Structure formats: C-alpha cells, structure tokens
Amino acid sequence: MKTLKIGLLALLAAVSVLGTQAQTLDEIIEKNLAASGGKDKLLALNSLITEGTLNINGLQVPVKVTAVHNKGQRVDLTINGIANYTIQTRDSGWNYFPIQGQKKAEATPPDVIKEGADELDIQSVLLNYKEKGHTVELVGKDDVDGTECFKIKVVTKSGLQQTLYIDPANYFIIKQVTKTKAGGQEQEQTQSFSNYQKMDNGYVFPFSLTGFGPGELKITKIQVNPVVDPSVFKPAN
C-alpha cells in the first residue's frame, strides 16, 4: 500500500506539472488576444481616437490621443486652457509644451524615434509577434497587487523592452513595464490598466490607466477606425 501511495503521489505531481506546462506562451497570447476582441478584430484595427481626463492633483486635464496603426500617434493635452501636444511617427516626432515655456515645437531626438517606432502598433505587440520580428518569452509568474500574473518579456524589433503582466482570471494585461535606452540612459516606465470594458463593436479596452502621466487617466470615449487627416501628425507651429 505504501508503494501504491507513493506511486499515486508521483502521478499527482506529474499531472500538476503538466497542468502548469499546459499554459504555454502561445496559449496565453491566444487567450489575451481573444480577451481583447479576437485576432480578426485586432487585424482590422487601423486607427483610434481616445479621449479622457487626466487627474493631476485634483486638476482635470482633457487628453486626446489620435493613433494610426504603424504610422503615427499624437497626444493633445489642454492644461489651464493652454494646448500642448506630442507627436511621433515612424521617422520623426515633435513636442510642444507652452505650459513649460516652449515657444515652438521641438524635434524629438532620432534615437528616441527609432526606439519608439514599435509602439505605434495599436493592434497588439503580441499579435503575430514572430512575423513582426519581436522576441517574446514567458518568464514565469509574478505578483501584481495580490494577483499572481503571467509574466511575459518582449523585446521588439527596434529594441524596445517590455514586460507584460497578464491576469490569469481574464487574460487582460494589467501592468506593463517598459525600458528604454534613449539618450544613452536607461529609463523605466510602469503603466497599469484596469476597468476593461467591451464596446458595442466587440473591441475590449481598459478605461482606467496610470503611468501615462502623474495621475490617473480615465477614458470617456473611444472611436474605432475613424478617418484621420495625416496633417494631424505634423507640427502646427
């Protein structure tokens, strides 16, 4: 009986290990993409206009993000009635913050543009990652505010390093840590995502974000695949 008991324990241990291994990297990615609306919808995502409010120490700052897949992104912020913006395309970028005393738009350094090029992918960095030339690795699990998440390391084709934390309960990305080396200095940015909501068109987006500024960004409106004038990605001054 003792031998049988040991055999059963060994069998249970083996089953446990197999259960853990069953969650392979590609299976986790598949579930994450499905949770976001599915591959077909993500592949059809060509542009987004997202509007919300950034709470900075009680100050409500209107934010508008205009993005065209793999072409450009513009973030507009209105602070105390003053319009500010930052623009990035695949080969250029500008920052204009008169709230900080800038008189005209200033060009973004080339190394920053190069490293951030892959962030213009609005469909998902995990979607068809092999074809995109990214390296993706499941490095285990880690705790995020009490939730043991899948931890996935991504190195994009342009060299951008990201660590994604995926909640196993719903396969949403709830935390992202991005490392950059622009300007010869390594910097780390941590962002969190919550309040995921499914829209009438089937897409699923987080409506509460942190790490995109000094406060919490609450999304109020998302337009999917709107027509975007290319001039939006050019400085106006």
Domains and CATH numbers, the chain: 46-233 (2.50.20)
Distance CA 234, CA 225 (A): 20
Which of 54, 23, 53, 4 has the alpha carbon at shortest distance from 213? 54
Is the torsion defined by CA of 34, 193, 186, 163 positive or negative? negative
Residue with tokens 């030339």: 133
| Residues of the chain falling short of pLDDT 70 | 1-22, 182-184, 237
Q: How far apart are CA 174 and CA 186, in angstroms?
A: 23
For the chain, give the number of residues.
Answer: 237
Confidence (pLDDT) at 6: 42
Predicted confidence at residue 87, as pLDDT, reads: 97
| Beta strands, E only, 80-203 | 82-89, 93-96, 106-107, 135-144, 147-155, 161-166, 173-180, 187-198
The pLDDT value given to residue 147: 96
pLDDT of residue 182: 62
Q: In this predicted structure, what is the pLDDT of residue 58?
A: 83
How much is the pLDDT for 8? Answer: 42
Structure confidence at residue 205 (pLDDT)? 98
In terms of pTM, does the model score above 0.75?
Answer: yes
Which tens digit of pLDDT belongs to each residue from 33-73? Answer: 999 999 999 999 999 999 999 988 888 999 999 999 999 99
